[in-house]
Each structure stands twice: as structure tokens, then as C-alpha cells.
Structure 1
Amino acid sequence: MHAMQYELTLPADYDMEVIRARVARVGHLLDDWPGLGFKTYLMRERGVSGSPVNQYAPFYLWDTVDGMNTFLWEGAFQKVSNDFGRPSVRQWTGLSYAEGGAVDIPARSAVRRSQSVPDGVELAEVMAEAVGETERLAREDGVVFAAAAVDTARWELTQFSLWTHEAPKADGEVFEVLHVSAPGRERLPRGRQW
């Protein structure tokens, strides 16, 4: 499993209905994308759920690198770059994935929490704790799925969870879910990824 996200931070007075309309118009285009486990079309609106910014920030879980590369190099990502400028694309190595009891219910919010992996810690212990947190989150009421991933260039651990309600029981940045494409959900490896 591979995780990916890019963030388009928009002006404070940007009409976020433009983003909602864009996703309503094109969100379905990845509903059958080969190699894609999940794409969650996410946004944050300044002043809502504590967000300091207007932002469009889709989050992806890929079950194949080929699917991700096809998305990035063969035109789909180019459309985003053409419309908004080319954003930096964050990529993480997957640590764990767990489905919640609400996996078949439409998601309304997502939470992303990132933290540094301190120097001097036992990496196996930190990663095992991340797997445990993924499993704990997946047991919460209203969770669609939970995942953990690590960026080894920055040594940053990211926990991501998708929820059916607007007030998730997790710490981190809260996003509104505009659409979910999940063509390869069944192929995403469950549990610990090593």
C-alpha cells in the first residue's frame, strides 16, 4: 500500500463552492481507476472545524504503484496542474490499513494527524504503535477506514481516518469529504504492511 496527498491552499476569500462543483463534475472519473484503493476528495474551509485555510487536499491509498504512476504521468494529474499550478505531492509508505464497521456507509469527514518520529527511538516500536492506533481507530463508531503511513525522507508518521459523521473522535486536521472513489478497496492489504 502506498499513500499520497497533495494540498491546494486557496485564497482566504476563495469561493469553495467552485471546488464542490468541480468534484461533483469530475469525481466519478476515478471510480474505476486501476490500482486505486481509495481516493477521498477532501477540502477544508477557512473557519470551519478549526481550519485556518481554504484547501483542496485529496488523499489516496494505492494498491499498486503502477496505478499511482499512471495517474501522475498520463494526464489525470496534469489537469489539476493546469487549473491550479503543480502542487507538491506527498507520498508515504503504507504501515497499516483497517476497515471500520461503517465501511459501506458514505463518509462525511476525514482526519489526518501527522507527527515526527523522534531520533533515538526504536523504529519497530513506533511503527507497531502506529499499527495499534490504526486498529483502535477502526473500532470507533462511524469509522469507514483507518490507515497509517510513514514518510522516511522527513521521518513523519501520518494517521488517516475516514468517518461517517462530521464530528470525528480523532485528533488532527479535519476535512470535509466531497466524494470517495474506492475501486480497489477489496485489494488493499489489511493489517500490518510488513
Structure 2
Amino acid sequence: MSRLVLATRNAHKVGELRAILGEHLPGVEVVGVDAFDADPERAVGDVVESGVTFAENALLKARAVAAGTGLPAVADDSGICVDVLGGAPGIFSARWCGRHGDDAENMRLLLAQLADVPAQHRGARFACAAALVLPDGSEHVELGELRGVLAAAPSGGGGFGYDPVLVPDAERGPGGRGRSCAELSAGEKNAISHRGRAFRALAPVVVQALG
């Protein structure tokens, strides 16, 4: 069985990416980098995300994993981009509050910064860059986004990151229920998400590379 390594230890993200890629990659084992933690020759350390775009950071992570494991690697870098903040937090989304990965505090700070912004100006989008890097150095990047508006308060217990505060445009139009991304089922979210769109676009390239 071919093996594809996801450049993450985030269990939520590994599960989500397996669900997105699985239907396109029959016969391919999709694992996170934690599968190699017990193997000192193939273990992968944390990568400094020093890029200034989502694509640059995704490539940095995928390159490190491909080099460390000797296997094809995919990585994503993603975040929330708020219109009235000029696209911020952007690449700083995971550490907007000053600490990496504190989802609750990141959301609290972002909503506090927009507390006086009326609903019609709370447009935002989730953005994702998905990168594939092969051991021979070949690289490919695809982009995806999901537009919506920022809610006044978090809602929903699903998803991760900023999912509880973004209401997708599809939930706001006729027939929409006004749900946040965290209130969607996994299938509903993957069908429209920035990550789903980026990785579905990348899947044919992965299939060709592993074929």
C-alpha cells in the first residue's frame, strides 16, 4: 500500500483530510507525522512557519516532512481573513492572541476587535493552501477559500479553529439556516470548506504522483 504523510499532528485535521482525500485515493494509507515519532531516522520536528503567504508556509511544512520521511507529503496552511482588517489575521490566525493554538482566546480577541463593526461589514473568508512535495523535490500547490460573515458570538461544538464564528454564505441565503461552520456536519463542512476545495483540487495530482 502506498503511503502519504500529512504534515500535521492535529488529530482533528488528520481526520478531516483523510475524509476529504480518502474517496480519491483508494489503496493509499494516509497518516500524520506522529506515525513516525518513534522512528528517530524518520521523525519530523516542528517547522518554523516563516513564510509570508499560506502557500509558502504549506510548502515549508511539506518539504520538511518529505525530506524527513522519504515519502510523499502534503501540508496545508490556512486561516481566517477578515475584510475590514485588511485580510488579517491571515497567516497569523493560529497565534492571533499571542499563543499558538489557543482557539478560544483567538476567537475572543478577534470578536472583541470587531465588536463595533455592523453585520454588513463583517465579511470574512477561510483561506487554504494545500501543498504536495515528493521526495524527488517535485512540488504542487492548490488554493481554496470559503466566504462568509463573522457571527457576533461563537456557536456550535464541531470543527476546530475559527469554525464557530464563521457563517458561510451558503447558510445566509434562501433556504440557509444561519449555521456556523461548527454547526455543520462533517460531510456538509467538507463539501464547501476551503480545505476541502484545496485538497480536492490537489487530489488528482497526488493520484498521478503515487501511480
**TM-score of the superposed pair, with normalisation by structure 1:** 0.29
Q: Which has the higher helix share?
A: 2
Q: Which has the higher strand share?
A: 1
**TM-score of the superposed pair, with normalisation by structure 2:** 0.27
Structure with more contact order per residue of length (Cα contacts < 8 Å, sep ≥ 6): 1
